[in-house]
């Protein structure tokens, strides 16, 4: 990019609202100017639990980011997870007029795919183009505009939300005095931050364990082919500890972080420690092994559901590079050896991304040091991934199917059912 562009991301999670302002120098150089984080539990499993409190948290997070970046926010990219997500691989077929593919043909292709696979009560939240078949060619291309062709079939991975949920989210952001540029599924933006190109090519599954939900996405041959959101997360681990030991949720969360592990094989069964809950005079003698068993049981359920989704989609044999873990729920001690043994495949945790850095626009070193520390905070990885995604080839190709891509002329195209051909091409993708 010749000129820098400032982009703003709001990430809604079950435990906090995050706001990030980034200066995009290039796709490989994104500098974080400001961040904001406000603890809030009113967006739980994709549902708005208390609108006014969530509205206040969003406003405050944006204000914090504005103050650090010294700029005003007018519109945002919104990233979130919701078990209401419905996903489908789809195809849009278009007969090309004048035998040259134009922008309106790409837009018509998505319109045709939506006509075929988007239910009337759902909204297309997020769409990723997988590739384009030109005429009867056996291979896909990424861009067909200006190509001589009789017809094109554009392959998409569509991520859909109920219309009512989309409207509620839009009204919520409007009440915060900001518009929405795009809404994106958080597993896709986390993947942009977490996955390497060779992993996407060879086949990989990203598992983002949040507090109230677990998001999944699968890539093969550098194409997004599967997404899903499971209505369970690390918050339920805390609930189990609270119930089994008889302490508050706040104390259970502290206990989980200070002494918890999911790898029971690393724990001495005879080991105990004294835990004194805040506000109580009585001490609790906690067995480390029993605590680990409580945690293990819940994570077994989470990963069993992930494996079930992959099995039902017939994807397990395509994930040659295994699982990449991200999200706050993946940071508990012992996670990698536990997941490897349970899933019987390669499992790694995500690392920091080299193209994200803190932008030093401050008058003092302390402010820059603080921002730099926040840039290395795992809690912001999904928001940072959204900035990366905004500059990705994936988004650039997908954007060409949006109505805004048409500069002039009317959209024309003949809709044809692509169901039978899609079954064949999906096998080619995989």
347-349 sheet: strands from edge to edge: 223-230, 214-220, 204-209, 323-326, 347-349
Average pLDDT over residues 122-129: 95
Can you give the pLDDT at residue 275?
Answer: 84
Q: Is the pLDDT of residue 412 over 80?
A: no
- The pair of structure tokens assigned to 69 is 């970046």
Q: Is the pLDDT of residue 3 over 70?
A: no
Kindly state the helix (H) or strand (E) to which residue 228 belongs, with its residue range: strand 223-230
**Structure-token match 């001589």, residue found:** 148
Decide: helix, strand or coil at residue 417.
coil
Average pLDDT over residues 210-233: 97
Residue among 175, 132, 171, 137 at smallest CA distance from 152: 132
Q: Is the pLDDT of residue 410 over 50?
A: no
Can you give the pLDDT at residue 120?
Answer: 95
Can you give the pLDDT at residue 277?
Answer: 77
CB 203 within 8 A of CB 318: yes
Between 270 and 213, where is the model more confident? 213
- The pair of structure tokens assigned to 231 is 């209505």
255: phi then psi, degrees, rounded to nearest 5: -65, -40
Q: Work out the pLDDT band at 145, boundaries 50, 70, 90.
A: very high
Q: Estimate to the nearest angstrom the gap between the alpha carbon of 123 and the chain centroid.
A: 18
- What ranges make up the beta strands (E) of 27-150? 29-39, 43-44, 47-48, 75-80, 86-95, 122-134
Per-residue burial over 52-81, b if 16 or more Cβ lie within 10 Å, else e, is eebbbbbbbbbebbbebbebebeebbbbbb
Q: Which contacts of 401-405 are long-range, i.e. CB under 8 A and separated by 24 or more positions?
A: 401/92, 401/106, 401/107, 401/109, 401/110, 401/127, 401/129, 401/154, 401/156, 402/107, 402/110, 403/107, 405/103, 405/106, 405/107
Can you give the pLDDT at residue 415?
Answer: 30
- Please write the tens of the pLDDT for every residue from 10-21: 999 999 999 999
Q: How far apart are CA 86 and CA 159, in angstroms?
A: 6
Q: Is the pLDDT of residue 424 over 80?
A: no
CB 65 within 8 A of CB 19: yes
Q: How far apart are CA 56 and CA 60, in angstroms?
A: 6
CB 140 within 8 A of CB 430: no
Q: Work out the pLDDT band at 418, boundaries 50, 70, 90.
A: very low
Q: Is the pLDDT of residue 280 over 80?
A: no
Q: How far apart are CA 371 and CA 35, in angstroms?
A: 8
Average pLDDT over residues 24-41: 95
Can you give the pLDDT at residue 41?
Answer: 96
Q: How far apart are CA 64 and CA 253, in angstroms?
A: 26
Between 342 and 136, where is the model more confident? 342
What is 333-389 written as a DSSP string? BTHHHHHHHHHTS-EEE----TTEEE----SSHHHHHHHHHHHT-GGGHHHHHHHHH
CB 91 within 8 A of CB 154: yes
Q: How far apart are CA 261 and CA 191, in angstroms?
A: 25
Name the average pLDDT for the chain.
Answer: 91
Can you give the pLDDT at residue 276?
Answer: 79
Q: Work out the pLDDT band at 281, boundaries 50, 70, 90.
A: low
Average pLDDT over residues 22-48: 95
- The pair of structure tokens assigned to 430 is 């995989």
- The pair of structure tokens assigned to 173 is 């952001």
- Please write the tens of the pLDDT for every residue from 56-102: 999 999 999 999 999 999 999 999 999 999 999 999 999 999 899 99
Decide: helix, strand or coil at residue 173.
helix
Q: Is the pLDDT of residue 416 over 80?
A: no
Low-confidence winner among 135-149, 259-273, 398-412 (lowest mean pLDDT):
398-412
Residue among 403, 352, 398, 26 at smallest CA distance from 184: 398
- Please write the tens of the pLDDT for every residue from 146-162: 999 999 999 999 999 99
* DSSP3 helix / strand / coil % (the chain, rounded to 5): 40, 30, 30
Q: Which contacts of 273-280 are long-range, i.e. CB under 8 A and separated by 24 or more positions?
A: 275/247, 277/247, 277/248, 277/251, 278/250, 278/251
pTM of this structure:
0.90
- The pair of structure tokens assigned to 364 is 């003092």
Can you give the pLDDT at residue 404?
Answer: 79
């Amino acid at each position: 990019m010749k000129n820098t562009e400032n982009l703003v991301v709001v990430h809604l999670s079950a435990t906090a609202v995050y706001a990030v302002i980034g200066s995009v120098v290039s796709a490989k150089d994104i500098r974080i100017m400001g961040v904001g984080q406000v603890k809030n539990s009113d967006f739980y499993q994709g549902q708005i639990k208390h609108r006014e409190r969530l509205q206040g948290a969003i406003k405050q997070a944006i204000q914090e980011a504005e103050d650090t970046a010294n700029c005003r926010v007018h519109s945002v990219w919104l990233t979130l997870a919701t078990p209401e997500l419905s996903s489908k691989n789809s195809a849009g077929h278009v007969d090309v007029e004048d035998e040259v593919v134009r922008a309106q043909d790409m837009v018509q292709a998505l319109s045709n795919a939506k006509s075929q696979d988007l239910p009337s009560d759902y909204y297309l939240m997020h769409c990723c183009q997988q590739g384009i078949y030109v005429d009867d060619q056996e291979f896909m291309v990424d861009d067909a505009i200006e190509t001589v062709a009789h017809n094109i079939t554009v392959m998409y991975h569509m991520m859909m939300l109920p219309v009512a949920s989309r409207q509620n989210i839009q009204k919520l952001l409007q009440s915060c005095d900001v518009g929405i540029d795009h809404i994106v599924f958080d597993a896709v933006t986390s993947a942009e931050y977490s996955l390497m190109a060779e992993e996407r090519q060879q086949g990989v599954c990203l598992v983002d364990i949040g507090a109230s939900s677990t998001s999944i996405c699968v890539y093969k041959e550098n194409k997004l082919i599967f997404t899903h959101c499971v209505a369970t997360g690390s918050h339920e681990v805390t609930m189990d500890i609270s119930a089994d030991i008889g302490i508050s949720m706040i104390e259970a969360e502290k206990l989980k972080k200070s002494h918890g592990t999911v790898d029971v094989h690393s724990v001495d069964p005879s080991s105990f420690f004294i835990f004194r809950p805040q506000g109580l005079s009585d001490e609790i003698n906690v067995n480390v092994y029993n605590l680990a068993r409580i945690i293990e049981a819940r994570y077994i359920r989470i990963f069993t559901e992930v494996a079930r989704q992959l099995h039902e989609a017939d994807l397990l044999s395509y994930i040659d590079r295994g699982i990449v873990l991200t999200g706050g729920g993946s940071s508990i001690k012992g996670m990698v050896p536990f997941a490897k043994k349970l899933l019987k495949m390669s499992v790694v945790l995500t690392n920091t991304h080299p193209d994200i850095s803190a932008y030093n626009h401050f008058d003092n070193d302390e402010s820059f040091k603080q921002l730099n520390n926040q840039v290395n905070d795992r809690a912001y990885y999904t928001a940072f991934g959204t900035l990366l995604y905004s500059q990705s080839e994936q988004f650039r190709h997908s954007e060409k199917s949006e109505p805004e891509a048409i500069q002039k002329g009317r959209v024309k195209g003949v809709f044809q059912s692509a169901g039978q051909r899609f079954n064949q091409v999906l096998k080619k993708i995989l």
